[in-house]
Structure formats: structure tokens, C-alpha cells
């Protein structure tokens, strides 16, 4: 028997337990609901990974099989329900994630931190292209929000869309402003030989205080948690 807790509380496991907190259902029904509710925008949802997640939760006694049923000529399907320990673990994990920021590692941040390895004009063009993608994403979220409001879906069920829309808008605005600064020449940038593409900037690459023993920048308190 496993030990219920954070070791199995993946994003998909949280989504599964939250569905079963509504009512018992079988994994394929969970999959259909997650897709219909567009929760695939929040977690990676594939039938195989969902069935695996349910099996792990069952091993840890967070969910339990309630019965096997068949509809017409369809295969038999096992219905699961959440256990008391599963419900407690779900609520504790959600409370923890709401309360405490954790250090995540979005790949765009890595690209942005190393963008100086590309010529200024190329970075501006790439960021302008990203702005176009983000603008379309924001429009899609607006359409989703209109759809939910038009069907009187309670706001508590789609507040995450409002958050996603707000963060997308904030990223888009920052990138637009930075790309404009970079394009105007206001931001000092690396220089490259147009023939070879080699860096020809005078200062030392990644120049940082401290020489051979670089001074460490302050570590944010939230960065210690992951």
C-alpha cells in the first residue's frame, strides 16, 4: 500500500480527484469531461496517462473502484469514487498551491535570458512574431470567456481563464514595450560580424562582478521552493 500524499499529486491527479469529488465516474468519462471543460489547457490530458493516474491513486487508496458497468456493446468500465483520504489530500494540496508560490521553469525565460546571443534585429522580429501569437491566444481566451458567460456558467468554474487572460496580456504588453526599446537602440546589445556571424562586442561575454570568483546575485526567497 502506498502512502497518500504529494508524491502522486501531479496536476493530472489533482484534476482527477477534483472530478471524483463531484461524483463517481469511470476514467473515460473523466477524459471526456476534462476535454469538454477545456482543462487540457491546464494539464496534459491523454487517455493513457489518465488511466495510469487513476491506477496510482487507487494504489494509494485515494480513490476506490465502486463497480463495473457496461452500456450497450461498449467495453466494461470501472467506476471510481474518491475516498476520505483522497479528498483530504486534494484539499490540502490545493490549499498549499494557492498559498505558496513555487519556482517554475518556463522555457521562454531561458530564451529571453540568452536572447543576447542573437542579433538585435532578429530578436525584435522574433518578439514581434511572439506578440502576434499571444494576441491570438488572448483573443481565444476572450472568446472562451464570452462562451462561458453566455451560458451562465458560475464564475468560480472559469476564474482560471480570467487569470490566464490577465497573465497573457501582461506578457504581451511587456514584450511589446521591450521590443520597441530594443528596436530603437535604447538597450545596449551584442554586436555581430555580418559576414561570419561572430560576436564582436568589445566587452567580455557575460561580464559579471567578481572576475574569476563571480559575485552571486541575491536569491529570491520564493526561488528556494519547487
pLDDT at 185 over 80: yes
Instruction: Specify the DSSP element, H or E, that contains 77.
Output: strand 77-82
4/50 Cα distance (integer angstroms): 18
Q: Which residues pair with 80 in a beta bridge?
A: 25, 65
* Residues 66-87: tens digit of each pLDDT: 988 666 566 678 999 999 999 9
For residues 54 and 29, the answer to whether their CB atoms sit within 8 Å is: no
* Residues 90-116: tens digit of each pLDDT: 999 999 999 988 888 999 999 999 999
Quickly count: other Cβ atoms within 10 Å of residue 201's Cβ. 13
The pLDDT score that the predictor gives to residue 215 is 74
The pLDDT score that the predictor gives to residue 195 is 83
Q: What is the mean pLDDT of the chain?
A: 89
6-99: in CATH 1.10.10.10 = yes
Q: For the chain, how big is the Rg over CA atoms in Å?
A: 24
pLDDT at 6 over 90: no
Contacts of 60 (CB under 8 A, 6+ apart): 1, 2, 3, 4, 5, 8
226 or 59, which is more confident?
A: 59
DSSP 25: B
* Burial environment of residue 155 by CB neighbours within 10 A (0 to 12, 13 to 18, 19 or more): exposed
pLDDT band at 171 (very low <50, low <70, confident <90, very high): very high
* Burial environment of residue 50 by CB neighbours within 10 A (0 to 12, 13 to 18, 19 or more): buried
214 or 148, which is more confident?
A: 148
The domain segmentation of the chain, as residue ranges, is 6-99, 107-204
Q: pTM (2 decimals)?
A: 0.83
pLDDT at 50 over 50: yes
* Residues 108-139: tens digit of each pLDDT: 999 999 999 999 999 999 999 999 999 999 99
Q: Which of 26, 24, 36 is nearest to 87 (CA)?
A: 24
| Pair type for strands 63-69 and 77-82 | antiparallel
Q: Which of 120, 134, 137 is nearest to 179 (CA)?
A: 120
3-state secondary structure of 188: coil
pLDDT at 2 over 50: no
Give the three cell numbers for residue 99. Answer: 498559498
User: Any idea which residue has 521590443 for its cell?
Assistant: 179
Give the three cell numbers for residue 152. Answer: 451562465
Amino acid at each position: 500500500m502506498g502512502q497518500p500524499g504529494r508524491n502522486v499529486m501531479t496536476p493530472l491527479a489533482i484534476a482527477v480527484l477534483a472530478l471524483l469529488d463531484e461524483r463517481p465516474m469511470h476514467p473515460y468519462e473523466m477524459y471526456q469531461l476534462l476535454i469538454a471543460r477545456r482543462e487540457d489547457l491546464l494539464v496534459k490530458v491523454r487517455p493513457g496517462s489518465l488511466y495510469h493516474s487513476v491506477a496510482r491513486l487507487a494504489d494509494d487508496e485515494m480513490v476506490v473502484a465502486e463497480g463495473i458497468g457496461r452500456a450497450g456493446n461498449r467495453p466494461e468500465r470501472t467506476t471510481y469514487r474518491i475516498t476520505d483520504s483522497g479528498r483530504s489530500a486534494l484539499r490540502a494540496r490545493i490549499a498549499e498551491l494557492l498559498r505558496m508560490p513555487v519556482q517554475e521553469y518556463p522555457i521562454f525565460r531561458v530564451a529571453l535570458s540568452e536572447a543576447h546571443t542573437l542579433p538585435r534585429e532578429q530578436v525584435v522580429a522574433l518578439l514581434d512574431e511572439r506578440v502576434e501569437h499571444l494576441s491570438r491566444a488572448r483573443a481565444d481566451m476572450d472568446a472562451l470567456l464570452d462562451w462561458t458567460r453566455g451560458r451562465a456558467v458560475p464564475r468560480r468554474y472559469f476564474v482560471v481563464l480570467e487569470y490566464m487572460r490577465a497573465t497573457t496580456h501582461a506578457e504581451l504588453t511587456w514584450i511589446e514595450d521591450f521590443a520597441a526599446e530594443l528596436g530603437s537602440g535604447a538597450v545596449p546589445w551584442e554586436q555581430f560580424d555580418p559576414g561570419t556571424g561572430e560576436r564582436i562586442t568589445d566587452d567580455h561575454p557575460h561580464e559579471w562582478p567578481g572576475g574569476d570568483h563571480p559575485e552571486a546575485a541575491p536569491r529570491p526567497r520564493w526561488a528556494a521552493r519547487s
